Amino acid sequence: MKHIFFLLLTVSSLSLFAQNSLSGKITHADNGEPVVGATVFVAELKVGTTTDANGEYRLNKIPKGTYDVRVGFVGHTTQTEKINVEGNVQRNFSMVNASNALEEVVVTGTMKETSKLESPVPIEIYTPKFFQKNPTPSLFDAMQNINGVRPQLNCNVCNTGDIHINGLEGPYTMVLIDGMPIVSSLATVYGLSGIPNSLVERIEVVKGPAATLYGSEAMGGLINIITKNPSKAPIVSADVMATSWKEYNADIGIKYRLGDKANALVGVNYFNYMNPIDKNNDGFTDMTLQNRISIFNKWSFNRAQNRVASVAARLFYEDRWGGQMNWTPAFRGGDEVYGESIYTKRAEVIGNYQLPVKERIMLQYSYNYHNQNSVYGNVPYLATQQIGFAQLTWDKTFGKHSMLFGVPLRYTFYDDNTPATASDDGKTNKPDNIYLPGVFVQDEITLAPNQKLLLGVRYDYNSRHGNIFTPRASYKISFNESRDILRLNFGTGYRVVNLFTEDHAALSGSRQVVVKEELKPEQSWNVNLNYVKKIVLASGFIGLDASAFYTRFSNRILPDYDTNPNQIIYDNLRGYSVSKGVSMNVDFNFSFPLKVLAGATFMNVDFTEDGITQRQILTERVTGTWGVTYDFPRAKMSLDYTGSAYGSMLLPTLGELDPRPGESPLWSLQNIQVTKKFDSGLEIYGGVKNLFDFLPYRNIPFLIARANDPFDKNVQFNPDGQPIASPGNPNALTFDPTYMYAPMQGRRTFLGLRYVLR
Task: Please tell me the distance from the alpha carbon of residue 318 to that of residue 292, in angstroms, as a whole number.
Answer: 4
Mean pLDDT of all residues in 544-572: 78
Task: Please tell me the distance from the alpha carbon of residue 752 to that of residue 531, in angstroms, as a whole number.
Answer: 38
Could you tell me the pLDDT band of residue 187, with boundaries at 50, 70 and 90? very low
Q: What is the CATH number of domain 105-241+248-745?
A: 2.40.170.20
Q: Which helix (H) or strand (E) holds 423?
A: none
Mean pLDDT of all residues in 453-477: 88
What one-letter code names the amino acid at 317?
Y
* pLDDT attached to residue 441: 94
Count of other CB atoms within 10 angstroms of residue 692: 11
Maximum CA extent, the chain: 119
Closest to 191 (Cα-Cα) out of 404, 366, 409, 16: 366
Q: Is 476 within 8 Å of 120 (Cβ atoms)?
A: yes
- Burial class for 592, CB neighbours closer than 10 Å (0-12, 13-18, 19+): exposed
Which range is most confident: 277-286, 426-435, 501-510?
Answer: 277-286
Task: Please tell me the distance from the alpha carbon of residue 540 to that of residue 544, in angstroms, as a whole number.
Answer: 14
Q: Is 420 within 8 Å of 498 (Cβ atoms)?
A: yes
- DSSP structure string for 548-586: EEEEEEES-EEEE-SS-TTEEEEEE-SEEEEEEEEEEEE
First to last CA, the chain: 57
More confident position, 521 or 86: 86
Q: Is the pLDDT of residue 288 over 50?
A: yes
CA distances from 217 to 154, 191, 214 (A): 19, 14, 8
Average pLDDT across the chain, whole number: 84
Task: Please tell me the distance from the alpha carbon of residue 426 to that of residue 423, in angstroms, as a whole number.
Answer: 5
Q: Which residues contact 139 (CB under 8 A, 6 or more apart)?
A: 192, 193, 195, 197, 200, 203, 225
Q: To the nearest whole percent, how much of the chain has pLDDT over 70?
A: 85
Q: Is 87 within 8 Å of 20 (Cβ atoms)?
A: yes
SS3 156: coil
Which range is most confident: 89-98, 198-207, 706-715?
Answer: 706-715
More confident position, 185 or 627: 627
* pLDDT attached to residue 313: 93
* pLDDT attached to residue 585: 93
* pLDDT attached to residue 7: 47
Q: Is the pLDDT of residue 517 over 70?
A: no
Could you tell me the pLDDT band of residue 126, with boundaries at 50, 70 and 90? confident
Q: Is the pLDDT of residue 508 over 50?
A: no
Lowest mean pLDDT among 275-279, 413-417, 645-649: 413-417
Q: Is 72 within 8 Å of 39 (Cβ atoms)?
A: yes
Q: Which residues contact 536 (CB under 8 A, 6 or more apart)?
A: 483
Task: Please tell me the distance from the alpha carbon of residue 433 to that of residue 498, in angstroms, as a whole number.
Answer: 11
Q: Is the pLDDT of residue 396 over 70?
A: yes
Which range is most confident: 17-21, 208-212, 536-540, 639-643?
Answer: 639-643
More confident position, 13 or 183: 183
Q: If you count them, how many residues does the chain have?
A: 758
Task: Please tell me the distance from the alpha carbon of residue 218 to that of residue 174, in angstroms, as a whole number.
Answer: 5
SS3 758: coil
Mean pLDDT of all residues in 544-565: 81
Q: Is the pLDDT of residue 462 over 60?
A: yes
Task: Please tell me the distance from the alpha carbon of residue 311 to that of residue 313, in angstroms, as a whole number.
Answer: 7
Could you tell me the pLDDT band of residue 99, with boundaries at 50, 70 and 90? very low
Q: Is 348 within 8 Å of 324 (Cβ atoms)?
A: no
- DSSP structure string for 3-15: HHHHHHHHHHHHH
Q: What is the CATH number of domain 2-95?
A: 2.60.40.1120
Lowest mean pLDDT among 41-45, 359-363, 461-465: 41-45
Query: What is the DSSP-derived secondary structure letter of residue 103?
Result: T
Which range is most confident: 23-37, 164-178, 255-269?
Answer: 255-269
Could you tell me the pLDDT band of residue 14, with boundaries at 50, 70 and 90? very low
Closest to 130 (Cα-Cα) out of 674, 595, 751, 667: 595
Count of other CB atoms within 10 angstroms of residue 713: 8
- Burial class for 508, CB neighbours closer than 10 Å (0-12, 13-18, 19+): buried
More confident position, 109 or 308: 308
**Domain spans of the chain, in order of start:** 2-95, 105-241+248-745
Phi, psi at 12, each rounded to 5° = -60, -40
**Cα dihedral 189, 191, 196, 202 sign:** negative
pLDDT tens, position by position, 710-750: 999 999 998 888 899 999 999 999 998 888 888 899 999 99
Closest to 299 (Cα-Cα) out of 259, 357, 239, 356: 259
Task: Please tell me the distance from the alpha carbon of residue 657 to that of residue 401, in angstroms, as a whole number.
Answer: 63
* pLDDT attached to residue 464: 77
Q: Which residues contact 466 (CB under 8 A, 6 or more apart)?
A: none
More confident position, 14 or 94: 94
Task: Please tell me the distance from the alpha carbon of residue 310 to that of residue 230, in angstroms, as a whole number.
Answer: 9
Q: Is 729 within 8 Å of 723 (Cβ atoms)?
A: yes
Closest to 740 (Cα-Cα) out of 619, 610, 652: 652
Q: Is 431 within 8 Å of 414 (Cβ atoms)?
A: yes
**Cα dihedral 687, 693, 696, 701 sign:** positive
Task: Please tell me the distance from the alpha carbon of residue 63 to that of residue 66, in angstroms, as a whole number.
Answer: 9
Q: Is the pLDDT of residue 381 over 60?
A: yes
Closest to 317 (Cα-Cα) out of 350, 291, 348, 353: 291
Task: Please tell me the distance from the alpha carbon of residue 634 to that of residue 262, in angstroms, as a whole number.
Answer: 40
